[in-house]
Structure 1
Amino acid sequence: MNRPLGIMLVDDQPQRAQMVGERLRAAGYNLLALLNSAEGLLFQVEKHRPDIVLIDIESPDRDILESLAVINRQAPTPVAMFSARGNADFITRAVESGVSAYMAEGLTADRVAPAIEIAMAQFRSYQQLRVSLERTQQQLDERKAIERAKGLLMAKKNLSEDDAHRALRNLAMNSNTTMRAMAEQIIHLFQPGN
C-alpha cells in the first residue's frame, strides 16, 4: 500500500489554512507541517522532508523566491504556489526559482488536488530533464578530455590519431581506470610547468 503524500502547507491566512489542512487530511494526505509564513522555509523543508510544498501567501516577495531557489538546488521538492499576484514577470521568476505549478488564484479546497497533481507531474518531468542534461554534460566533458589527451599524445609522442586513441585505451586498461580518468592524468602530465 502506498503511503499518503506528505504535504507542507505555507499559508498566511489562518482560517483558510485550517480549512485547507482539514480538506487535505480528509482526502488522505499527510499534513506534515502548517506554517503561517515562509520564514525559515529551507530549514522546515529539510526537517519535514515533504513530498510537496503548497504555498499561499498574500504578498509573496523576493525573499520567498530566493528561499525556493535554494531549496530547488539543495533539496529539490515540488512546489505549488497560489497567488492573486499574477503578473507575468513574477510568475516567470517563481518558476525559475523552482515553483512546479503556479496558480494565479488563491488556494481553495477544490483547487488543492489538481494543483498537487500538476506540481508533481511538472516536478518529475523537470527532474528527468535535469538528469538527462547532467548526463549529456558529463559525456561531453568526457569526450573533450579524451580528445584533448589524444591531441597531446599525438603532439608529444608523434602518434597518429588512431595510435593515440589505442595508447590511451591501453593505458586506461593497464591502470584499471576509465579512459576519462586516464585522459585527465595525461592532460595534467603534459600541462606546461609539469
Structure 2
Amino acid sequence: MTTPISILLVDDQSERAAMVAEQLIAAGYKLLARLTSAEGLLFQVEKHRPDIVLIDIESPDRDILESLAVINQHNPTPVAMFSVRGGAEFISSAVEAGVSAYMVDGLSAERVAPAIEIAMAQFRSYQHLRQSLARTQQQLDERKVIERAKGLLMARKNIGEQAAHQTLRTLAMNSNSTMRQVAEQIVAHLQPPVK
C-alpha cells in the first residue's frame, strides 16, 4: 500500500477551494491544509511538509513569488500554480521562484491529477540536476585546491608533479584525511600572502 500524496492547497476562493479539496480527497490525495492566501505559506510548508503545494489564486503577485523562492531555497517542494494570469514574464518569474508546473486558465477537476504528476516529475528532474551540478562544482573546487597545493609543493620542494601528487597522497593517508583537506592545509600554510 502506497502512501497518498500529501497536498497543501492555497486558493483564494472558498467555494472553489471546497470543491477542489473534495475532489482531491475523493481521488485519494491527502489534504494537509487549505489556505485562503499565500500569507504564512513558508510557515505552513515548514509545518506540514507537503509532497506538493497547489496554488490557485486569481492574481498572484510578487509576494507569493518571493515566498516560493524562499521555500525553494530552504525547503524545496514541488509547486503547481493555476492562474488566469498568463504572460511570459510572470510565468518565467514563477518558474525561477520554484514553480514546477504553471497552468493558465485556473484550476479544474480534470487538470489536478496531471498537474500534480507534471509538477512532481519536473521537481524531481530539477532536483537531480541541481544535485549533479553541486557535485560537479564540488569536484572542480577540489581539483583546483589540489592542483594549487601540488604547484606550491613543486615550487617549494623543487619536485615534479608526480612527486607532489604522491606527497599529497602520503600526507592524506598518514593523517587519515582526504587529499582535499591536506591540500587546503598546504595552500593555507605555503601560499604567499596577498599584498
TM-score (norm 2): 0.98
The answer for the alignment partner of 1:14 in structure 2 is: 14
- Determine the structure 2 residue equivalent to 1:116: 116
**What displacement does 1:79 show?**
0.1
**Residue 22 of structure 1, CA deviation:** 0.1
Give, as a single letter, the amino acid of the residue that structure 2 aligns with 1:20. V
CA contact (8 A) 2:152 2:191 kept: no
Aligned to 2:141: 141
Deviation at 1:159, TM superposition (A): 1.1
User: RMSD of the TM alignment (CA)?
Assistant: 1.0
| Distance in 1 between residues matched to 2:87 and 2:157, nearest whole Å | 62
- Corresponding residue of 1:23: 23
For these two proteins, the number of residue pairs brought into alignment is: 194
Displacement of 1:73: 0.6
Distance in 2 separating the partners of 1:99 and 1:31: 19
CA distance in 1, matches of 2:192, 2:62: 47
Q: Is the CA contact (8 Å cut-off) linking 2:146 and 2:179 kept in structure 1?
A: yes
- 2:52–2:120: 8 Å Cα contact kept in structure 1? yes
* Cα deviations by residue, 1:113-155 (Å, 9 ceiling, x for unpaired): 0100000000000011011101111110110010000000011
Structure 2 counterpart SS, 1:63: helix
| Partner Cα distance (2:19, 2:121) in 1 | 25
Partner residue of 1:104? 104
In the alignment, structure 2 segments of 5+ residues that lack a partner are: none
Q: Distance in 1 between matches of 2:105 and 2:74?
A: 28
- Deviation of 1:192 after TM superposition, in Å, equals 2.8
Alpha-carbon separation, structure 1, partners of 2:154 and 2:192: 16
Whole-angstrom CA distance in 2 between matches of 1:108 and 1:15: 13
Is 2:186 the partner of 1:186?
yes
What SS is found at the alignment partner of 1:81? strand
Q: Using structure 1 for the length normalisation, give the TM-score.
A: 0.98
Q: Sequence identity, in percent?
A: 76
Superposition misfits of 4+ residues, deviation over 4 angstroms: none
Counterpart-to-counterpart distance in 2, 1:89 and 1:157: 58
Letter in 2 for 1:32: L
Q: Which amino acid aligns with 1:122?
A: Q
User: Which residue number corresponds to residue 93 of structure 1?
Assistant: 93
